Amino acid sequence: MNNRRNWIKETGLGILGMSLGININAQTITKEQPSNSDSMTLLGLNENPYGPSPKALIAMQESISNANRYAFKTTTALINAIAKKNEVTPENVLLAPGSTELLDLTFQLTSQNKGSYIIANNTFDYWTSTKTDSEFKRIPIPLTKDKKHDLKAMFNAIQTDTKLIYICNPNNPTGTICNRKELLSFIEKVSEKVMILIDEAYIDYTEEESLGNLGITNKNVIITKTFSKLHGLAGARIGYAIGHTSTIKKLKELKSWPNGNLSLISMAGALVSLQDHAFTEKVKKLNIEAKEYTIKEFQKLKITTIPSYTNFLYFSLENYPKDYLQQLALNRIKGSRIYEENGKWSRITIGNIEEMKILISALQ
């Protein structure tokens, strides 16, 4: 549970939670906004600094007056739109308030009869804190030297009781991506016996094709996606899983009201955002520009980066002369922890260009 507690602390939700008991007002809510001058520069959670899409905002505002009704029609419309985008049927899709819940559900499903699961080290793993090692044994597999998933080692680590393998593609915190051919052949070999959970939270930042439609035929593949990143709807909480109809059915059985726990307002935003290609293309372009700027400036500061397919960068502070975390703190910038002491590797979200300039001047 410690991981989760740290995460809550990192996100600032702890502060909001404390204030909930006292008084919640508009000012408390607007504290999430990074743009006013006395707030922090938020580069810790890989949020999208440009979102939500203006069209999604209008749809959300317009939907508010219908908030007295249950949102059956909007739910169906969103599932249909997601199915169409991913070239699957609506029965292959399960919605949730954020993809974390779908990672959790997959974890619950596969750990029902105990056994073990295989996961990279480092990767996005807060959701695994719901089980102790004795309930569901964790088999961590180090990344390769170039910080990618070591698919060969993951394959070799499979035990007779292994129920789940998690692949975050692209990977958080490293921003690296699996070679598509290798990943497909890994899935083909492994999925005969073991469930593979592919987390595509950042895939839309890449030019790679999603593996979503594998779910049509393969019972042992679940793909999760989110509106929290490219679509800039992290606070609206919308994610979805794609899988075989029978697998989605099993996930649904873990819920009292599957597809029923999303707000009309969030779904209205997601539905419109899905069609707003001009917005998502603009976000991708601005992300690349700000990322290139940051990489160039990091080089001057002796901070070494590795290629990133995402809206964040993973970098080594080994040759950076100052105390990085202190520089962030002094300048009210929220970044990430040191993930690997060896090489002093950390991660930073690519914000907008103004935010990256604040970061660079803080580190100079």
Ligand X SMILES: Cc1ncc(COP(=O)(O)O)c(C=O)c1O
Residues at the contact surface with ligand X, assessed by CB under 6 A: 46, 98-100, 124, 168, 172, 199, 201, 226, 228, 234, 239
What are the backbone dihedrals phi and psi of residue 116, each rounded to the nearest 5 degrees, phi first? -140, 160
Nearer to ligand X, 98 or 320 (CB): 98
What CA–CA distance (Å, rounded) separates 42 from 78? 30
Nearer to ligand X, 215 or 239 (CB): 239
Q: Smallest gap, in angstroms, from Cβ of residue 42 to ligand X?
A: 13
Q: Smallest gap, in angstroms, from Cβ of residue 294 to ligand X?
A: 19
The CA-CA-CA angle for residues 85, 90, 95, to 5°, reads 85
Q: Smallest gap, in angstroms, from Cβ of residue 234 to ligand X?
A: 5
Nearer to ligand X, 102 or 363 (CB): 102
- Quick one: 104 exposed, middle or buried, by C-beta within 10 A (0-12, 13-18, 19+)? middle
Q: Smallest gap, in angstroms, from Cβ of residue 223 to ligand X?
A: 12
Sheet with 345-349, strands from edge to edge, namely 304-305, 312-316, 345-349, 338-340
Q: Smallest gap, in angstroms, from Cβ of residue 300 to ligand X?
A: 28
Residues whose CB falls within 8 Å of the CB of residue 333, separated by 6 or more in sequence, listed in order: 40, 41, 43, 358, 359, 362
What CA–CA distance (Å, rounded) separates 124 from 174? 10
Q: Smallest gap, in angstroms, from Cβ of residue 96 to ligand X?
A: 8
Residues whose CB falls within 8 Å of the CB of residue 177, separated by 6 or more in sequence, listed in order: 148, 169, 170, 171, 206, 208, 309
Q: Within 10 A of 324 (CB to CB), how many other CB atoms are there? A: 20
Q: Smallest gap, in angstroms, from Cβ of residue 361 to ligand X?
A: 26
Residue that has been written with the tokens 């990143």 in this structure = 229
Nearer to ligand X, 271 or 363 (CB): 271
Q: Smallest gap, in angstroms, from Cβ of residue 168 to ligand X?
A: 5
Q: 156, 99 in Cβ contact below 8 A?
A: no
Nearer to ligand X, 92 or 99 (CB): 99
Q: Smallest gap, in angstroms, from Cβ of residue 44 to ligand X?
A: 10
Nearer to ligand X, 46 or 294 (CB): 46
Nearer to ligand X, 301 or 338 (CB): 338
The CA-CA-CA angle for residues 238, 241, 245, to 5°, reads 140
What CA–CA distance (Å, rounded) separates 90 from 92? 5
Q: 303, 320 in Cβ contact below 8 A?
A: yes
Rounded to whole angstroms, what are the CA distances from 83 to 187, 230, 234? 22, 18, 21
Long-range Cβ pairs for the range 324-329 (8 Å, 24+): 324/363, 327/362, 327/363, 328/362
Nearer to ligand X, 123 or 218 (CB): 123
Q: Which residue is nearest to ligand X (CB)?
A: 98
Rounded to whole angstroms, what are the CA distances from 357 to 11, 233, 295, 300? 22, 24, 12, 14
Q: Smallest gap, in angstroms, from Cβ of residue 150 to ligand X?
A: 18
Query: Among 85, 87, 104, which residue's Cα sits nearest to residue 166?
Result: 104
